[in-house]
Structure 1
C-alpha cells in the first residue's frame, strides 16, 4: 500500500515539475518573441515591414543595416561604450570597499548608511534633471561625456553597494583572520583574499551597472547634443516627421543591443551564480 502511495506521489511530483517547466518555456518564449520579431523585421524591406498584417515569408535583405550604418552610428556607440565601461569600473572601485565596511568590518550605524544609499534611488530622476542641467551649463559640461560618466556612477553606486554587501556577508571570517595573521593589510586583503571569493558577485554587479548605463536615455537625451551623444539618443533620431521606418529602426535597435547581449551571454554563469549566492542567507 505504501509503495502505491509513493508511486502516485512520485507521478504527481513529476507531473507538477513538467507543468512548471512548460510554463517556464511559455513565459520565456513570450519574452523572446518580440526580440525575434524585431530581428526578422530588420532583414525585410521597408515596404514588407510596413505591411498589415505582416508578411513573415517576405524576401530577406540587408538594406535596413546598410541604411543604418550609412547614418554614421559609430561615434554614438563609442560614447555609450566609454560612458558605460568607465562608470562601471568607477562604481566597482567605490562600491567594493564601501560594501566591505558595511558587512565584514561594519561601521557605526551601518543600517542608517544603507538606508541613505537606498534613499538616493527614491527621488525620481526627472526631479533632479533641471538642477543638474543648470549646474552642467554653469560649469561648461553640457554635451560632455565625462558628465555622463559621473552621473552614471552616482546612479549605479547604491545598487552596487547593496548587491556587493550581500555577497561579502557570505565571506567566511576564518579566511580574513588567516590573512590578518599572515600580516596582510587592508588593500592586500581586499585584492588577494576577498575579491577572488566574491568574483561572481562583482561580475553580476558590474554587468547590471553596465546594462543600466548603456540603456539610460533621459540624462543623455537632455544633457548631450552631438559630441557626447549616446547610442539610445542616436536611436531617437530615427523617429522623424517623414514617418517611422520599421526595418531601419529594427536593424538599428538590434545593433545597439548587441553589446549588452554579448556581455550578458559572456557573464551568464557568473551572473546566475552571483545572484543566487547573494540570495542565500
Structure 2
C-alpha cells in the first residue's frame, strides 16, 4: 500500500502561514494603543465634568474625592451669573469672522490651485509667513489703534482681527482642497459660458463642500477659543466666553468647581458644531489622501 505523499514544508511556506498571525497581532497591538490614547485624551474631559458636579469643598480636597456627593448647584450659579452676553459675543465673533474668512479664502484658493497665478508657491509662503509673528508682539499697536479709533470693547474689532488671524490657514487648506476639483467640471462650465462667480458658487463650492466645512469648523474653533486679544481689547460690553471664564480666578482664589462648570458649558457649542459636521469634517480632512 502506497503511503500518502505529504507536501514538503519549506521556509517560505512557513513564513506565509505565519503572516496572518503577525497581521492579527499587529492589528491587536495597534487597536490597544489607539484605545489607550483615546482614554488618555478623554480622561481630562471626564474629570472636568465630574469636578463640575462637585461642591467647591469636595473639588478642593487633595487628593480629589471621586465619591463626593454630586450636585447641580454650580450650573445654577453659573447661569445665574448671566453668561449669555459673553456667549453671544463669542458666537458673533466666531461666526462673523468665519464667514469673512471663507468668502475671502475661497477665491484665493481658486486662484492658487485651479487657475494658478505666477509664483503661486511664493504667495502661499507669504500667507504662511504672516503667522510667524506672535500675536503678543502686535498687541500694543492694536491696543493703541483701538484706543485712537474708539473701537475698544467693540465686537466688530474682534471680528476683523479673528478673520485676519485665520485667513492664512484657510487659504492653505482651501488651496489643497480645491486642487482636487476635477478639471472636466471646470471645462464643461467654461463651455457653457459660466462666469467666475457662477463657477465658484455652482461648481467649485458643491464639490469642495467637505473641505470648506472642515476649514470653517477649524476657523470657528480658533476664534471661539481665542483669549489674548479678547482679554486685552474688550471689557464689559464685548467680552467673550473665554474672558468670562477667567472671572472665576479672583484674588480670593481659584473656584475650581465653578471654573470646570463654565468650561463644560463654553465647550458645548464647539463640540455640538463638530458633532453635526463630523461627516463633512472627516471627508474634508481626508480629501486627496487617496489617489
Same-fold call, TM > 0.5? Answer: yes
1:197 alignment partner in structure 2: 207
- 1:166 is matched with 176
Q: How many residues align structurally?
A: 281
Is structure 2 residue 164 aligned with structure 1 residue 154?
yes
Deviation at 1:5, TM superposition (A): 2.6
SS in 2 for 1:194: helix
Question: Superposition pairs for residues 2-21 of structure 1, below 5 Å?
Answer: 3-21=13-31
2:241 is the counterpart of 1:231: yes
- Give the structure-1-normalised TM-score: 0.97
Once the two structures are superposed, residues 38-62 of structure 1 have per-residue CA deviations (whole angstroms, 9 ceiling, x without a partner) of 0011011111111111111111100
Higher mean alpha-carbon deviation, 153-162 vs 237-246, is at 237-246
- Unaligned 5+ segments in structure 2 are 1-8
Q: Per-residue deviation at 1:15?
A: 0.6
Shift of 1:104: 0.4
**Is contact 1:238-1:244 (8 Å) kept?**
yes
**1:58-83 Cα shifts (integer Å, max 9, x gaps):** 11100111111111111000000000
Deviations, residues 19-42 of structure 1 (Å, cap 9, x unaligned): 011101111111110000000110
Equivalent residue number for residue 275 of structure 1: 285
Q: For residue 222 of structure 1, what is the aligned residue in structure 2?
A: 232
Instruction: Give the Cα–Cα distance (whole angstroms) in 2 for the partners of residues 221 and 162 of structure 1.
Output: 28
Cα offsets for 1:129-169 (capped at 9, x unmatched):
11111111111101000000000000000000000000111
Give the counterpart of 1:111 among 107, 115, 121.
121
**1:55 maps to which residue?**
65
Matched, 1:246 2:259: no
Q: Identify the residue that residue 177 of structure 1 maps to in structure 2.
A: 187
Distance 1:237 1:35 in 2: 21
For the residues of structure 2 that align with 1:278 and 1:254, how far apart are their CA atoms? Answer: 35
The 1-side partners of 2:133 and 2:57 are apart by 44
Q: CA deviation at 1:280?
A: 5.0
Unaligned 5+ segments in structure 1 are none
Structure 1 distance, partners of 2:88, 2:13, is 65
Please tell me whether Structure 1 or Structure 2 has the larger radius of gyration of its CA atoms.
2
2:46 corresponds in structure 1 to 36
CA-atom RMSD, angstroms? 1.1
The structure 1 segments of at least 4 consecutive aligned residues displaced by more than 4 Å after TM superposition are: 278-281
Match of residue 65 from structure 1: 75
Q: Quick check: 1:201–1:270 contact (8 Å CA) kept in 2?
A: yes
Scaled by the length of structure 2, the TM-score of the pair is 0.94
Separation in 2, partners of 1:189, 1:208: 25
1:260 aligns with 2:267: no
SS for the counterpart of 1:237 is helix
